[in-house]
Amino acid sequence: MFATAARWAAKKGKPKMAPIELTAPPEQAQSITRTIFDVVREHGPLTISDVWDHVKDVGLRGLTSKRQMKIMLRWMRERQKLRLICNHDGPHKQFLYTTWFTNPKNVPQGPKGEMKAKVEKLSSFPPPKKP
């Protein structure tokens, strides 16, 4: 018990992050955030790579890189325009961006969940008898 208390006391606190300041002009930042919000609202809970694929299809001019998009997503989360949910599937985690109005229970299962169901279905058969 003493060792647990010593480990707990030795932990450092999480450093406070400064608010994100966007480098883009306000008009451009507004158009980028509106487009990202519309993509997330229209296509449901999305991972970062899914958002990037949809934004590339839209052809947004102000967004130059995936890194800039991730900064914009973090800024939108900070301003509570989007939220981040975690979809647990055993040891696998999937982080999805969604609007505040999306019910997290309606989150679609990823391909890992489908593979797990197939494996469980196959493993339910009895093993072959050995002679």
Residues 6+ apart with CB under 8 A from 75: 20, 22, 33
- Residue tagged 């980028």 (tokens): 32
The tens digit of pLDDT for each residue in 85-120 reads 998 888 889 999 999 987 766 666 655 444 445 445
pTM given for the model: 0.68
- Dihedral in degrees, nearest 10, Cα atoms 24, 28, 30, 35: -120
Structure tokens at 10: 């030795």
Lowest mean pLDDT among 23-27, 65-69, 79-83, 108-112: 108-112
CA 99 to chain centroid: 12
Higher pLDDT, 1 or 52: 52
The partner residues of 97 in beta bridges, in order of sequence, read 46, 84
